[in-house]
Amino acid sequence: MDLIHCCVRWPWKNFPTSKTSLFQKEERLRHYNPLPLTVPAFSNRMPAQCVFSRIEGKGKRSPPPPPGGAPAKLAAASPVASRKWRSSAHALRGAPRRAQTPGSVTYVQSNLPRRPVPRSPRLRPGGAARAPGAGRTARSHPGAATCPFSAKMALASGVRFAPRALLRPWSSPVELFHHDRYRHHEPPAPVHYEDKHVSVVKVWGGTEPSRYFLITARIHKWPSGILRLGGINGDDISEAPRVCPWARRWVQTASAGPAAALSTGAGPSLPLFLLLAEWVAVMKLRNPPVNALSLELLTELVISLEKLENDKTFRGIILTSDCPRVFCAGLDLTEICGRNPAHCAEYWKAMQELWLRMYLSSLVLVAAINGACPAGGCIIALSCDCRVLADNPKYRIGLNETLLGIIAPFWLKDTYVNTIGHRASEQALQLGSLFPPAEALQVGLVDQVVPEDQVQSTALSEMARWLAVPDHARQLTKNMMRKATADRLLRQRDADTQNFVSFVCRDSIQKSLQAYLEKLRQRKG
């Protein structure tokens, strides 16, 4: 099992910045090898980014199609030929992966030996399909044997496993493999570490804060042999045991090892920001100070979502914030204050695109709302399938547009109505209500309110609940529920853009936005 950690950045330098539409940009990106270290030339801020990490799925999903595309009619025409195709795809999956795939998620190749690829569980001899997971054993779902969380997921998805395997110890010895995504050209610097529980065989990478790290741990006694951990330097290591309590002892021990090995002395200890179940990516919004939805962040979110959707080993994304106390402050007002109509149009198209992509995403999207979530931030959360909000009275959520003197577009209003109903939306939209957690829960704006330190773990449990449902059934149902709302925007996208531009470019609206922005700045002072 490989842990693959990706950070996609917008390759600014090679992209047109003016009137090129988002679609054209995306199209170009497909043929483009991302440059991970490129920083926007016009900005001295840290570039906005969303960071995600992933764990490769293990056999439940169909393998990726071989070059030339999947033989769509093959399965129907000939089960045997279809099986052959699948096994050739498995063989392909077992082949060494390239370090970078142009136009797709940038992979970091684990140096772990690849484990044998399990046969697809979905085809029986004769080609008849069977229920997902039915008849699989602990061997085909190895994590289930040792990790209660995986076991829960496995049970929920109908996986049977041998009782003996359940008793198998998960503990030491462990080998840790650590990759620094951005040091891929440097020779690895092996570090050796031994203790009772952990055996660090290799630690690769540097120590600078804000660099992204990968750890893949190998546990010999597991049937799969590998535990997946993701890390970002500077994150709180204590998050990991909360997310996956069974790993507490291991993580505590492990933290002493690589942290000691990597620490420069003053530098932070090696963090593990999440322990993840397979198939799940965590996206952290990182556009300090308040995660305002700048054009850059919107674009990056859209591209990242597309990449994750195209990567068939992902089934869900947990969306959360990397900025303290704020999930997302909504539209970046500096993108629409004092800008020309062309820029406003480009910005609004990016906003529409993000909403459409999120609202209709085939992946499960869970919002782990760990901060304030007004206006556009609330749109992001509402586009997810499930919302978990931290129980802090300062973290308010809602659509407060009217308080800024602006009006939510119809598709936003529709999303609100779909979530909390007509009457509640009518009231909340007109009053520009921002709900504190208890009220947000009561009105149905969020699905769970939990103590702040449990937001991530609850989001992960929610994810497990949603992933327990077969993908195709869930996706079709989601589409059935949401398509009409999305279609409404798709039908009048240009008109909506024109409305937005002519509205925000009005002098009176510009004045009121400027005044609001000024108020925000003064409030700080």
Positions in the binding site for ligand LRBWVUCK (CB under 6 A) = 289-290, 292, 325-326, 329-334, 372, 374-376, 400-401, 404, 406-409, 500, 503-504, 517, 520-521, 523-524
We find the least distance from the C-beta atom of residue 379 to ligand LRBWVUCK, in angstroms, to be 6
Q: Which of 239, 300, 401, 462 is catalytic?
A: 401
We find the least distance from the C-beta atom of residue 144 to ligand LRBWVUCK, in angstroms, to be 41
> Is 37 noted as a catalytic residue in this protein?
no
We find the least distance from the C-beta atom of residue 28 to ligand LRBWVUCK, in angstroms, to be 28
We find the least distance from the C-beta atom of residue 36 to ligand LRBWVUCK, in angstroms, to be 27
Chain residue whose CB lies nearest ligand LRBWVUCK: 330
Sheet strands (E) in 408-476: 448-450
Select from 386, 361, 272, 384 the least CA-distant residue to 308.
361
Structure tokens given for 220: 């010999």
Nearer to ligand LRBWVUCK, 3 or 298 (CB): 298
Output phi, psi for 352, to 5 deg.
-60, -45
Distance from C-alpha of 17 to C-alpha of 152, rounded to nearest angstrom: 47
> Is 331 noted as a catalytic residue in this protein?
yes
Distance from C-alpha of 42 to C-alpha of 458, rounded to nearest angstrom: 39
Select from 441, 364, 438, 428 the least CA-distant residue to 401.
428
Nearer to ligand LRBWVUCK, 296 or 401 (CB): 401
Q: Which of 29, 229, 301, 331 is catalytic?
A: 331
Q: Which of 143, 376, 398, 432 is catalytic?
A: 376
Nearer to ligand LRBWVUCK, 289 or 341 (CB): 289
We find the least distance from the C-beta atom of residue 21 to ligand LRBWVUCK, in angstroms, to be 20
Nearer to ligand LRBWVUCK, 244 or 412 (CB): 412
Size of the chain in residues:
525
Select from 524, 50, 26, 54 the least CA-distant residue to 328.
50
> Is 227 noted as a catalytic residue in this protein?
no
Structure tokens given for 268: 């932070």
Are 364 and 318 in contact by the 8 Å Cβ rule? The answer is no
Q: Which of 400, 445, 462, 467 is catalytic?
A: 400
Structure tokens given for 119: 């046969």
Give the amino acid at 340: N
Contacting residues for 300 by C-beta, under 8 A, at least 6 apart: 8, 9, 10, 48, 49, 50
We find the least distance from the C-beta atom of residue 401 to ligand LRBWVUCK, in angstroms, to be 5
Select from 518, 524, 525 the least CA-distant residue to 333.
518
Bridge partners, 283 (sequence order): 52, 319
Distance from C-alpha of 426 to C-alpha of 423, rounded to nearest angstrom: 5
Nearer to ligand LRBWVUCK, 154 or 297 (CB): 297
Nearer to ligand LRBWVUCK, 34 or 409 (CB): 409
> Is 74 noted as a catalytic residue in this protein?
no
Select from 25, 65, 1 the least CA-distant residue to 306.
25
The residues assigned a catalytic role are: 331, 376, 400-401
